[in-house]
Amino acid sequence: MPAVVSLSNVHKSFGALQVLKGVSFDVAAGEVVAVIGASGSGKSTALRCINALETIDSGEIVVCGHKVHDPELDRRALRRDVGIVFQSYNLFPHLTVAQNIMLAPTCVKDMGKAEARRLAEEVLAKVGLAEKADNYPEQLSGGQQQRVAIARSLAMQPKLMLFDEVTSALDPQLTGEVLRVMEDLARGGMSMILVTHEMAFARKVASKVIFMHQGKVWETGPGAMLANPQTKELAEFLSNDL
Ligand code: ADP
Ligand code: MG
């Protein structure tokens, strides 16, 4: 399997603060990678570097064939291949669900309105919200809004999806419905990297878990590693998480 994402010895600082201290990992096509670790360990920064929302100081990042570390990087081309969903879903309140989803395909991909509408309905069906196309975001629950945000990313037909703690703002019941959508995507073969606090989900769905600690990949392995930590730092993190 060719790697969809490859990080090699990535360093990133904000001023004097070293946030990524030589991070390396690969994601194969169709792989689901869960990134876990304490707050401040560099998880979000790593994701943002993958999508070129941050520029790295040294090392290499290759994503779907794009050399992200290259100053000549075509950011638009990269972002056509990579979808990213954050904790805050940031839907436009004055647009309907379908209009929110149609925005990028019509503006970025020059897709016609009728085709974009069909696509919106298709991706909404994927996240179980076909009947909400003409509702406004405020008429939906937080979990439903987050599923719309995922659908909006899917409408760009990405090769890779990045999820940064997308369920952290949701109560447990709504968390479940969002996790189910992500699990469906994983089963459908989507390559994805998710930063998550949902350890049970990571164990069940992830083909690989990466534990970050103080800006480094501290431990990595299959989901089963969560039941059998090899480092005291991971053991401690897992015990704090209970
Ligand atoms: P995590 O997602 O694991 O909680 P982050 O990657 O968000 O960690 O942050 C790692 C460290 O980098 C934190 O100390 C955070 O305050 C710092 N940091 C993140 N983004 C910036 C920024 N844009 N400017 C300065 N410091 C930042
Ligand atoms: Mg974070």
Instruction: Give pLDDT, residue 108.
Output: 83
Protein residue with its CA nearest to atom 25 in ligand 1: 14
Statement: residue 1 has pLDDT above 80: no
Statement: residue 233 has pLDDT above 70: yes
12 lines ligand 1 (CB under 6 A): no
CA of 115 to the centre of ligand 1 (A): 40
Protein residue with its CA nearest to atom 24 in ligand 1: 14
Query: How far apart, in whole angstroms, are the C-alpha atoms of residue 185 and residue 160?
Result: 11
Nearest atom in ligand 1 to 15's CA: 25
Nearest atom in ligand 1 to 215's CA: 10
Cross-sheet strand order for the sheet of 160-164? 82-85, 160-164, 191-195, 32-36, 208-213, 216-221
Task: Say what the pTM is.
Answer: 0.95
| Residue 109 or 80, more confident | 80
Instruction: Give pLDDT, residue 110.
Output: 87
Residue 231's identity, in one-letter code, is: T
99 lines ligand 1 (CB under 6 A): no
Q: How buried is 128 (Cβ within 10 angstroms: 0-12 exposed, 13-18 middle, 19+ buried)?
A: middle
Nearest to 155 by CA among 106, 195, 196: 106
Nearest 10 degrees: Cα torsion 204, 146, 64, 36: -40
Q: Measuring CA to CA, how many Å separate 122 from each of 119, 130, 155?
A: 5, 8, 9
Instruction: Give pLDDT, residue 219.
Output: 97
Binned at pLDDT 50, 70 and 90, residue 66 comes out as: very high
Statement: residue 8 has pLDDT above 60: yes
Segments of the chain assigned E as strands: 3-14, 17-28, 32-36, 58-63, 66-67, 82-85, 160-164, 191-195, 208-213, 216-221
Which ligand has an atom closest to residue 164 CA?
Answer: 2
Query: How far apart, in whole angstroms, are the C-alpha atoms of residue 163 and residue 169?
Result: 13
- In the DSSP assignment, the letter for residue 226 is G
Ordered by where they begin, the domains of the chain are 3-92+158-241 (3.40.50.300)
Binned at pLDDT 50, 70 and 90, residue 241 comes out as: low
CA of 34 to the centre of ligand 1 (A): 18
42 lines ligand 1 (CB under 6 A): yes
Which ligand has an atom closest to residue 54 CA?
Answer: 1
Statement: residue 242 has pLDDT above 60: no
Instruction: Give pLDDT, residue 165.
Output: 95
Protein residue with its CA nearest to atom 12 in ligand 1: 19
- Per residue in 50-63, pLDDT tens? 999 999 999 999 99
Those residues whose C-beta lies under 8 Å from the C-beta of residue 191, and which sit 6 or more positions away, are 4, 5, 27, 28, 29, 30, 31, 32, 159, 160, 161
Mean pLDDT across 109-132: 95
16 lines ligand 1 (CB under 6 A): no
- Per residue in 163-212, pLDDT tens? 999 999 899 889 999 999 999 999 999 999 999 999 999 999 999 999 99
40 lines ligand 1 (CB under 6 A): yes
Query: How far apart, in whole angstroms, are the C-alpha atoms of residue 136 and residue 77?
Result: 30
Residue 18's identity, in one-letter code, is: Q
